[in-house]
Amino acid sequence: MDVLQRALSCPKAELHVHIEGTLEPELAFALAQRNNIDFPHASIEDLRAAYDFSDLQSFLDLYYACADVLRTEADFSDLMLAYLRRAREDNVIHAEIFFDPQTHTARGVAFETVLNGLEAGAAIAQAEWGMSTRLILCFLRHLPEEDAFATLDATLPFIDRVHGFGLDSSEKGHPPSKFERVFARCRELGKKVVAHAGEEGPPAYIVEALDVLKVSRIDHGVRAIEDAALTQRLAHDQIALTVCPLSNVRLCVFKDMRQHSLPAMLAAGLRVTLNSDDPAYFGGYLGDNIRAVQAAFDLDAETWCLLFRNSFDAAFVDDEKKALWLSRVDAHMQP
Ligand code: ADE
Ligand code: ZN
C-alpha cells in the first residue's frame, strides 16, 4: 500500500468541523423544499457557483444565508447524519463538531431544537457505525459578549449535553479578549474551551486565546509561524492546532496549497492536526484534505502517523479511549 492509501485508510479523529459547514447544496435544496422556503438560488449548480470566496467574510455571508433552511429537529438530525456518513468513508471514528446556536436562535429556532436534532443524528451514527462524537458550542465573535452570555444562559438547562465551547465567525477586529468573561464562566462550569485564532487574524490573537481565554486547543493557528517566540511556545507546550488546509486555500489565507505554512509548522515541532472546517463549501472532507496535502508536500508515513496521533491525543475524551485509538493508529501506520 502506498503512503497515501495507508493515510486514507487509517482510523482518524476530526477536531474542527462546523456542522453548518457540512450542508451540501443538494441537502440545502431538499430542506428548502421540505420547509417551504423560497431559497434564493436557482439551482444546485447556481449555488455551487457561488462558492468562490475572496476571504473569510465572503464565505460567512453565504454560510449564514444557507443555514436558513435548517428549521426542525429532523433538519439538524439529517445534517449531522449526512456529515457522519460521509466522514465514515474517510475512516473518521471520532468527531468533535462545532455548532453555532446564535445563527439559529436569531431566526426563531429554539436552542433545544438544534441540540435535540444534532444529538439524534449522532445517536444513529453511534448505533449504526460505532462513531463517537462530541458537540462544541461556538459563540459568534462578531456579536457582543452579552449575546454570548445570553446563549450560555440558554444552554444551562442542557449543559451536560455540551462538551466544550469555542469561538468562531469574523476574526479580524474581534480579538479573543472580547470574550474573556464568558470564557471564564465556561471554564468555571468545568468545560474545555477552544478558539479560532490566527486564521486571518494576527499571531497576537493566538497569544490572547492562550493567555486570556485559556484555551486547550487553537483552531487554525496557521499564522503562528510568523512569530518566532509564539512558535517556540506552542512547540514547547505542545498546544494542538486544528489546521484546515483546503479551507485556508479557499479563503485565500494562502495563495495555493504549496504556499501553506503546514511544512514549516511541522518542521517547528508544532502539534498539528488536519481537519476539514466547512467541507461542503471548501472542496472536500478530511480525505480530500489529505489528498491535497499529499499532492503538495509528499509527506512520509511517519509524518502521517504523527498527524493522526496528534488528533487523538488532543481529543476531549478519556485517557483509556485515547490509548486504544492511538494503538489502532500505530498498528495501521507502522505495520
Ligand atoms: N465559521 C465557520 N467556518 C469558519 C471559519 N473557517 N472561521 C471562522 N468562523 C467560521
Ligand atoms: Zn472553523
**Cβ burial, residue 201 (10 Å; 0-12/13-18/19+):** buried
Mutate to test the pocket of ligand 1, among 15, 19, 56 (most ligand atoms within 8 A of CB): 56
Q: What is the edge-to-edge ordering of all strands in the sheet holding 192-197?
A: 12-18, 92-99, 132-140, 164-168, 192-197, 217-220, 240-243, 271-274
State the pLDDT at residue 40: 87
Contact 206, 231 (CB under 8 A): no
* C-alpha of residue 166 to centroid of ligand 1, in Å: 11
- Residue written as cell 476539514? 276
Cross-strand partners of 134: 96
Which CATH class for the 3-333 domain? alpha beta
- For residue 334, the model assigns a pLDDT of 87
pLDDT at position 1 is 79
- Ligand 1 in contact with 195 (CB < 6 A)? no
Predicted local distance difference test score (pLDDT) of residue 101: 98
Given this model, what pLDDT does residue 195 score? 99
Query: How far is the CA of 91 from the CAs of 88, 271, 328, 332, in angstroms?
Result: 5, 21, 12, 12
List the grid coordinates of 241: 492546532
Indicate the top mutation candidate among 17, 278, 281, 289 to test ligand 1's pocket, ranked by most ligand atoms within 8 A of CB.
278
Has this prediction a pTM greater than 0.85?
Answer: yes
How far does the centroid of ligand 1 lie from the alpha carbon of residue 3, in Å?
30
State the cell numbers at 44.
444546485
C-alpha cell at 187: 471554564
Q: Check: CB of residue 187 under 8 Å from CB of residue 194.
A: no
Cell of 36: 417551504
Q: How far is the CA of 219 from the centre of ligand 1 (A)?
A: 9
Annotated catalytic residue within 14, 171, 199, 200: 199
Closest C-alpha among 234, 229, 153 to residue 197: 234
Given a contact cutoff of 8 angstroms between Cβ atoms, the answer to whether 224 and 270 are in contact is yes
What does the block give as the cell for 155?
444552554
CA of 277 relative to ligand 2 center, distance in Å: 5
Run of H or E residues at 15:
strand 12-18
Integer Cα distance of 255 and 168 in angstroms: 22
Distance CA 151, CA 185 (A): 12
Residue 163: per-residue pLDDT: 98
Q: All 3 cell numbers of residue 80?
A: 449531522
Pocket of ligand 1 contains residue 17 by CB under 6 Å = no
Query: What pLDDT sits at residue 31?
Result: 97
Half-sphere exposure of 73 (CA within 13 A, CB side): 8
Chunked mean pLDDT (size 10), the chain, 335 residues: 96 99 97 94 93 97 97 98 98 98 98 98 98 98 98 98 98 98 98 98 98 98 98 98 98 98 98 98 97 98 98 98 98 90
Secondary element (H or E) of residue 234 = helix 228-237
Quickly list DSSP for 168-227: ES--TT--GGGGHHHHHHHHHTT-EEEEEESSSS-HHHHHHHHHTS--SEEEE-TTGGG-
199 is catalytic: yes
Q: Which residues pair with 241 in a beta bridge?
A: 218, 272
Question: Do 284 and 276 meet the contact criterion of CB atoms below 8 Å apart?
Answer: yes
Contact 139, 170 (CB under 8 A): no
Rounded Cα distance, 7 and 304, in Å:
6
